[in-house]
Structure 1
């Protein structure tokens, strides 16, 4: 790390700066070298394990982005934040309801269902499906990307990592902001928030946001963008200080995205890709997300009790379009026309997480808890280009998931300068599936299936404080991605897929130099996935099949930051990933999956 710092031209100071930490607000004070003046340097704290902790003390990689940085960098959605984070890969086809996430090359090769997520996304402590990351950053305080399996608190939905989104909470200080932005290509952004004390015990906050842009794809039939999406969102929060040490936070929010359809563009294309589609095809595309949550906290003499309950209701309808250019190239017919298929999905999710944990800043960290999730959802293809009415060639699918989990994790000093972290979780999964399929001639078939599973996940890590500013760590993790039923089945017997099992090792260093003005974090990692989820596709028949293949991901990453005394901060990061498929799968419509091939959507750098 010192050699890297010297190569970057940073002078290394031997001055020992005095700093103090307040566990309550996690602020630190550093003495600027040679000046004698105290400089307030913001610390990076995360709630990866349900309570505020310094990111440098966690035995796994963490990237944290503050809300102010998100706004200054013009990152409009969570997807934008993830795309700007080294080591994180996103494939969403530009739509509002399909997102493939990888962290360090780990994740389903393509998500088989809305329930098949390798990266857990949490909003204020309650889980969301990763299919919602295209929605806007509404009054965000901080976004933390936790890298590597997070099986202790999040179980089978955190095999690759976790995204924790923290929104701004009501305070007793009257405050607010208004922002308006205009740009080229139809970019518009209007946002505002206001909050403060409502009474001696109540504080409230209201945030609203409107954003819009033009897709950078030209419709050849109009010469204009294929669509002009917009997102409208609002959130209201109420904080009730019931008594000393007891509080309740209630939140309600709604987001609606319009005209955000998936865009499949023929390659090769230049800086201005084109599609040949019927004008207005995306006009009826719509996604709505409603979310209600209640978080109760009670502080005891030895710890704190937290209960987070949430209800999420999501709806999406949009076309998946193969334009005339793709159809002509695929079929070799210069007169071929576009093909589109409507996808319509609904999801209602109830979650509860009840945990008891240590107080912030405690010498020994510990947490134990219970979680529950119930999901009712559907994923239908009610119409396409040739059957706009009736049930011809339509599919209707209904799913339920019940998931229970118990977990616990602790970090304890074991020797001088050594700390041991150990966590374990056991999860019970139960799923049902009812599918109804219509052939092109209207013949109806169906199937009803159910499955149950239970599995254990967790991790063990050891960290060593080499100096007061340098921590070395190593972590072994066990992850799991449950089996289930895919969203795209069109015939009986094609819906089921197996669970994936994950083993991961990470070695790293987190360091601070020059009175904490320079930070350098580095890590190497290796993850092996048995029976990774792969959605195969036959472009001739448009049939998708669920298959499994083993994969391996390995690599290294480096994050660095320099904080000037005048408030300017320079940060950067780089990740190298070598992702490889390790087993062959034959009998797939568009060609076999072969061992030794690179994993799709995973850039090396």
Structure 2
């Protein structure tokens, strides 16, 4: 039995205080203990932070990866894969996937809170801007070979990471869950039979405190254990004048333990468990700008705020970092689980079994109107998930061929119990000013939607990959996957409000309701009405790929890949538009699967006695039935609603290059870049951007008004064919270098070093349909670090976003199409110091 527990707030705070104090004492005492030891050899040169080919395990200069489920030299793997070792991640301050994007140009990460988080590779992976439990991610996250279905895991801290592999392109024939855009394969440090430990403490501005510690060693001749702890605290970077508090803080703690049993030379059993808690004052998106829409002028932001004398946003400059959000904010994100991995040498291969259970508890509180007015007083959708996975595979290796055969089972249960409540400002904000009801705060005050959302998700698969070494230089690798997916959902939203006679009534879309024609009830129904439906999805899919690799020379590998992949279909679980008779539009309850055709060619090279590495990849991906966010008034319904549907065709193509250089032990450098051409090839019924929405819907033959015309004529949908995909830049780069010199400090021989790392992204769209109000300008982030290190000790100072670049991580259109655009800001300049040691 596995016990689940919730740590009380006071206990968590006490644990963190004790942890920071203990780690600091240990780190500060380490130099004295180590100074008694003679250091006879020079410190081995450190890898350049951020280099795509950073060594994790090194064998004569080779980087060992497990991207194809066996240990291989990175340069021999005919896959576009980037590798980041744990030392690189620590040096760069990369403690979650958000920061990982600063090292990986083709990785995109957007998060307004842990639930509303999107990870894309080459611009593909998840629909932008809409959270829905009924669809799958296109980028798989694996930690120690366990698939993490919830993308919320990406917002938590890395705990004791050995290395991270970022695989680009479809990965369905080697990995447990089918993924069409890529996979992030995270490996934590394993238990060791030699006693060892690490500790690290960092302090910085904004009251930043971070501590990490791990201990590993034997418990007997055949048993070893490892336990690791990580904690991060930081004051928020946005000041809320309403609550007199800093919001968007960080408050994370994670614990991971592993027990390794080696009963024989051919059998390893690893039992792992982890618990992670994120409980910040978060997450608020703030005023960015206002733009004209086609809504009536008296229903746009300036006119609506004028209805409340004395109200004004604290600042119209978002980089003043001020807000006045009046609803409670919370983002309690708890996650944990256990896994058992068995690896058994059987014949000329290895049989691996990975059994895992994971849970996720999400406890949010949000301000959905993004203002200091009581329009929405509560918008909270707490969620609980349990997932169970079983993967069984056999990897065989012979002189002329090797293969992997596997089976994967996944079962997931999700239960969301949401609530949305409007306040005394809702009538004026949400109802037409021409209605007398808009001047009565009681009409929409206290309208309450209680949501019961459930999902049961089953996925079963068989997969295999063969590598046939036709000659010593030529390898042909076909792969295949058969997948079955079944989803059963339930959406039940019960909306209650106060009728004009003072009674509490269910707000129903059913004309037979006795209060259907009551004016208050009708007004409330126009804002939100009860809805019930039970969507289902079930289908089989076949995917396959073919890879051809040719060793041109000992240090030059050329390869080409074709993959026919898919992302499973889904169901809409955030509600759907209503038909004119009030019934749910079930014709849009299902989301069709994506069908992916992917082509890739690559060249991996090393030269100058392997001091230089250059890997280049070209790719071309076309997707039919791309899963995308839409907003529709299905069949003439007068209530617009967002949901997921399918764009006819999408194309993403580009070139990536990863270059690293080490001319001597003193100097290292890297440059990674990506050019990505991305567009909707055909999407004729996309949601319109705000400047073309909100007016009277155009009738047949009518010409829509110019963008931003108040009270204008708006198209029912927009043709965005040829436009950018959201969230991806055409150009993205990361580069950096490090220089070190031998030095002696306090009697210890080591190195002084200086490092510099940069990340640049060009302009990108931050809305599902590109808008003149939501393009984000290109920006660059510059990071510096300098310190002194030995084999077992490192002390350094760091500055991140050193030039205090003001930039948006995302911009979003707020509900109601009032013209208000909200922002998620990037971090300002942060600085601090880190001390760490190992023993």
What's the TM-score, normalizing by structure 2?
0.63
Correspondence list, 1:146-545, <5 A: 146-154=167-175, 157-221=178-242, 224-259=245-280, 261-268=282-289, 269-278=317-326, 281-282=328-329, 284-325=330-371, 340-359=378-397, 364-386=401-423, 392-441=448-497, 442=506, 443=508, 444-489=530-575, 492=584, 493=586, 494-537=588-631, 543-545=641-643
Distance 1:362 1:383, change over 3 A: farther
> Helix, strand or coil: the match of 2:601?
strand
2:73 aligns to what? 54
Larger Rg, first or second structure (1 or 2): 2
The CA distance in 1 between the partners of 2:216 and 2:470, in whole Å, is 45
The CA distance in 1 between the partners of 2:640 and 2:251, in whole Å, is 30
The CA distance in 1 between the partners of 2:370 and 2:105, in whole Å, is 36
Instruction: Verify the 8 A CA contact 2:248 2:283 in the aligned structure 1.
Output: no
Instruction: Verify the 8 A CA contact 1:214 1:225 in the aligned structure 2.
Output: yes
Distance 1:567 1:399, change over 3 A: farther
1:67 aligns to what? 86
The CA distance in 2 between the partners of 1:241 and 1:489, in whole Å, is 51
Distance 1:385 1:227, change over 3 A: farther
The CA distance in 2 between the partners of 1:587 and 1:68, in whole Å, is 45
The CA distance in 2 between the partners of 1:315 and 1:226, in whole Å, is 21
The CA distance in 1 between the partners of 2:270 and 2:446, in whole Å, is 46
Give the superposition deviation at 1:538: 7.5
The CA distance in 1 between the partners of 2:614 and 2:226, in whole Å, is 37
Instruction: Verify the 8 A CA contact 1:277 1:338 in the aligned structure 2.
Output: no
Instruction: Verify the 8 A CA contact 1:97 1:132 in the aligned structure 2.
Output: no
Instruction: Verify the 8 A CA contact 1:204 1:236 in the aligned structure 2.
Output: yes
Give the superposition deviation at 1:542: 7.5
Instruction: Verify the 8 A CA contact 1:312 1:350 in the aligned structure 2.
Output: yes
The CA distance in 2 between the partners of 1:309 and 1:78, in whole Å, is 25
Distance 1:389 1:245, change over 3 A: farther
> Helix, strand or coil: the match of 2:535?
strand
Deviations 1:324-344 (A, max 9, x none): 54x8xxxxxxx7756651121
Deviations 1:273-329 (A, max 9, x none): 3322127x22x431100110000011123101000010001010213434554x8xx
Instruction: Verify the 8 A CA contact 2:95 2:158 in the aligned structure 1.
Output: yes
What is the root-mean-square deviation of aligned Cα atoms in Å?
A: 2.6
Does residue 139 of structure 2 align to residue 124 of structure 1? no
The CA distance in 2 between the partners of 1:223 and 1:587, in whole Å, is 41
The CA distance in 1 between the partners of 2:152 and 2:343, in whole Å, is 29
> Helix, strand or coil: the match of 2:367?
strand
What's the TM-score, normalizing by structure 1?
0.86
Instruction: Verify the 8 A CA contact 1:156 1:481 in the aligned structure 2.
Output: no
The CA distance in 2 between the partners of 1:321 and 1:592, in whole Å, is 29
Distance 1:228 1:102, change over 3 A: closer
Instruction: Verify the 8 A CA contact 2:284 2:325 in the aligned structure 1.
Output: no
5+ unaligned residues in a row in structure 2: which ranges? 1-55, 290-316, 425-443, 498-505, 509-529, 578-583, 694-716, 732-839
The CA distance in 2 between the partners of 1:158 and 1:389, in whole Å, is 45
Larger fraction in helix? 2
The CA distance in 2 between the partners of 1:339 and 1:552, in whole Å, is 41
Q: Runs of at least 4 residues of structure 1 off by over 6 A?
A: 387-391, 538-542
Does residue 45 of structure 2 align to residue 45 of structure 1? no
5+ unaligned residues in a row in structure 1: which ranges? 1-24, 30-40, 328-334
Give the superposition deviation at 1:567: 6.6
Deviations 1:344-382 (A, max 9, x none): 1111000000000025x9653311011100111123422
> Helix, strand or coil: the match of 2:199?
strand
The CA distance in 2 between the partners of 1:26 and 1:193, in whole Å, is 19
Give the superposition deviation at 1:267: 2.1
The CA distance in 1 between the partners of 2:163 and 2:383, in whole Å, is 29
Deviations 1:189-229 (A, max 9, x none): 01110010010111000001110223332323356422423
